[in-house]
Amino acid sequence: MLSIYFGDYSGANYIDNPDLYFDNTYEDEWLEDERSKEMVRDIDRSELVSPNLVVSPVLGSVSINRLSGGVKTLIQIANDSEHVYNASACGDNCAKWLLKIGREKDILVRMGHMMHFADSDGEQIDIRIDNSGEIVHSQSELNNKVIVAGLLDGGGDV
Amino acid sequence: MTGKYDVVLYNNKLHYHLTINRNITILRGYSASGKSELIRLLSAHNGNPASSGITLVCDRKCIVLTEENWKLYSCTYPEKLKEYQGRSARMIVSPGSCKSIVYDLTKLCEKYDVNVLCIVPVFPFFVTKEKIYNINKFLAYFRNRLFRGTIPTIVSYECSGGLVYDMMDWLPLTPMVNTTYTYEDYLKICLNPQKYLSSDLKNVHWGVFYNFNNSKKEFPCAELQDITVCFPHDNDCDGIAEKWQIYRRNINWNLLLYLMVRREQNIPIHVIKEFSK
């Protein structure tokens, strides 16, 4: 299941800047995975040809480092369970992929903003709020729990 | 910031054209929509403007503040106070982190011998030897320029409604200025404002009321139909009923604005649900 910690996460395994972390730590096998290719196709509208090459309709043939911050974060979340990644680096078009990965295995991410999961193709939402342990099944339920508990009121970073 | 600025930034593949007309403009969007590329392009241009192959067209200097260099910039700008050495300057400091800013300013003013009148909106009154300034009176002029429409009657759970009138320099169109209620009583007013706001106060007395931090305190209180109104900012029971009567004559029944405020405590979920109805 997808677990989200809202607010400032202080664990030693927390990665605040997944974009930068990816550039310096990614493993080739992560990029050979069919799901990574699908995510790049869906989010970046680009073709992940090999671990060293991405073909973008806008930028042309570019290196892996030029993938979007959102898709880099998703690839890491899918492949590296040792770290807690800052999912606020992801745009709302990454929401359905977070849910999809969460349906296949237990993942924990951190968020400093409210992501819109409701647009995720009308699929059932199952999200665990890590701060309280509560499980929610809709966007409005998630909004209510997070706002009422003031989980994003800390004034910390997004 | 005055006016608006066009920023054009391009290379052989990408072309950005932004019009910025706010002090802070937030760029947001889906992943892969080009936010990071914009920053990367601007940063590369600034690193070597002439031979980067990237063109920037803007009337103002555009820089990228990163996690490494923002502290350097934020330390450098206050040093501009040096330009005012031996002269006077006026500043309005936003309330975000006013304590540290005012502390730093005081130190720098001593260092550079600058006479600064520093006004912080969270403290509405600023007292000098000659005059008492009310910063909200100054700022209300600008705030009112952004306001369109008629002034509402604010049906407020506590004194924040009065603060809004004060910040806009409006005559309060409500008798609820500087009053507070239990959640249950406030919801009763919301459900039937005509009944309660058309009534006079009765039996003004000193009563025990729970403060926002749940501490018990004695305040002037009064009966209003079947609810209790508390006046936490008043020290005297005299004149409270008359004041209520005078203010309620000004109510704008065509525009009631309901204001629920959370202080230290969380508002119970059942109250939020009732209020949202």
- Does residue B147 fall inside a structural domain? no
pLDDT at residue B273 is higher than 70: yes
Stretch A139-144: mean pLDDT, rounded?
A: 88
Give me the number of domains chain B comprises. Answer: 3
Helices (H), chain A: 18-25, 28-32, 34-39, 69-79, 95-104, 139-148
pLDDT score of A135? 95
> Domain check: are B196 and B249 in the same one?
yes
- Does residue B66 fall inside a structural domain? no
CA-CA distances (angstroms) from residue A102 to A45, A110, B133?
A: 23, 14, 57
Distance from CA of A63 to the nearest CA of B (A): 14
Distance CA B56, CA B62 (A): 9
> Domain check: are B90 and B41 in the same one?
no
Site from B24, B31, B264 to mutate, A interface, most A CB atoms within 10 angstroms: B31
Compare A94 and B103 and report the one with higher pLDDT: A94
Contact B31 A70 (CB under 8 A): yes
Secondary structure of residue A14 in the 3-state scheme? strand
> Domain check: are B165 and B268 in the same one?
yes
Stretch B80-101: mean pLDDT, rounded?
A: 65
B68, two tokens: 């490494």
Nearest CA in chain A to B27: A91
pLDDT at residue B36 is higher than 60: yes
Interface contacts (A, B; CB < 8 Å): 44
- Does residue A59 fall inside a structural domain? yes
Tens of pLDDT, residue by residue over A100-116, are 999 999 999 999 999 99
- Does residue B64 fall inside a structural domain? no
pLDDT at residue A156 is higher than 50: no
pLDDT score of A49? 96
- Does residue B158 fall inside a structural domain? yes
Contact B31 A93 (CB under 8 A): yes
Tens of pLDDT, residue by residue over A34-75, are 999 999 999 999 999 999 999 999 999 999 999 999 999 999
- Does residue A128 fall inside a structural domain? yes
- Does residue A158 fall inside a structural domain? no
- Does residue B37 fall inside a structural domain? yes
pLDDT at residue A94 is higher than 90: yes
Cβ neighbours of A144 in B, within 8 Å: 269
Contact A71 B31 (CB under 8 A): yes
Give me the number of domains chain A comprises. Answer: 1
Phi, psi dihedral angles at A107 (to 5 degrees): -130, 150
* Domain that includes residue A55, residue range: 2-148
Residue B36 near chain A (CB below 8 Å): yes
* Domain that includes residue B42, residue range: 5-57
Stretch B116-133: mean pLDDT, rounded?
A: 66
- Does residue B123 fall inside a structural domain? yes
